[in-house]
Amino acid sequence: MSSARLSLTVIVGSVREGRFGPVVADWFVEQAERHGEFTVSLVDLADVDLPLALPPTPPALQPDLPRPEGMAELTRRLDDADAVVIVTPDYNRSFPASLKAAIDWHYTQWKAKPIGFVGYSGLSGGLLAIEQLRQVFNELHAHTVRDYVAFPSYYLLFSPDGTLRDPKGPEDAAAVMLDQLHWWGSVLHDARRDRPQITRR
């Protein structure tokens, strides 16, 4: 593709009152902007109308599915994205229901795009959620990149002002993941343009 920056959408997956997700997401957005190869946009699912009840015809079978008006900006950001990063905690050894709803309301928006993860929680650092999300996105013909960023015991790692007490390790991990997202994002951008997929279900 051209030297134009890729579009990266970062999604805050938790909508729980008092959640820590926006702090982690703001930190990651700063890393992505510093990386220099992306135009970054942030979507907080707490600001999105996300009904848990899906329509009778699944989005996979209805590409032009009408969605709630409050979901329009999320859909637009996903349509425009060359890559997506999910910021997620572990809830009961899995990922939040809000995130599953956002995923399930869409289908073509994920197809042939790279997905990265930033996890945070107690002991696992969000890895339990991340491993389950890899399976979900595989079903949607997305590509999850190998490396990730994890914050185990995140409440010990961040200062009250939202900065990391010891930033080097997480910053290095973010840079590696962003490099992978850029490579895959560039390759898949061109592939979607030049060789559209034919999927038989």
Q: What is the pLDDT of residues 116-150, one digit of tens each?
A: 999 999 999 999 999 999 999 999 999 999 999 99
Q: Which two tokens stand for residue 163?
A: 């900065």
pLDDT tens for each residue of 99-109: 999 999 999 99
> Parallel, antiparallel, or unpaired: how do β-strands 149-152 and 114-121 relate?
parallel
Residues 6+ apart with CB under 8 A from 70: 48, 49
Q: By the 8 A CB rule, do 85 and 115 touch?
A: yes
Task: Give pLDDT tens digits for 12-44.
Answer: 999 999 999 999 999 999 999 999 999 999 999
More confident residue, 170 or 200: 170
CB distance 16 to 96 below 8 Å: yes
> 6-194 adopts what CATH topology?
Rossmann fold (3.40.50)
Confidence of residue 1 (pLDDT cuts 50, 70, 90): low
Confidence of residue 200 (pLDDT cuts 50, 70, 90): low
pLDDT of residue 171: 98
Which residue intervals of the chain are DSSP H helices? 21-35, 72-80, 97-104, 127-139, 154-157, 168-194
State whether the Cα torsion 133-138-141-144 is positive or negative. positive
> Rounded to two decimals, what is the model's pTM?
0.94
Phi, psi (5° rounding) for residue 43? -120, 125
Instruction: State residue 158's pLDDT score.
Output: 98
Give tens-digit pLDDT for 57-82.
888 787 777 888 999 999 999 999 99
Does residue 94 surpass a pLDDT of 70?
yes
Contact 167, 156 (CB under 8 A): no
With cut-offs at 50, 70 and 90, classify the pLDDT of residue 3.
low
Give residue-wise pLDDT tens across range 137-183. 999 999 999 999 999 999 999 999 999 999 999 999 999 999 999 99
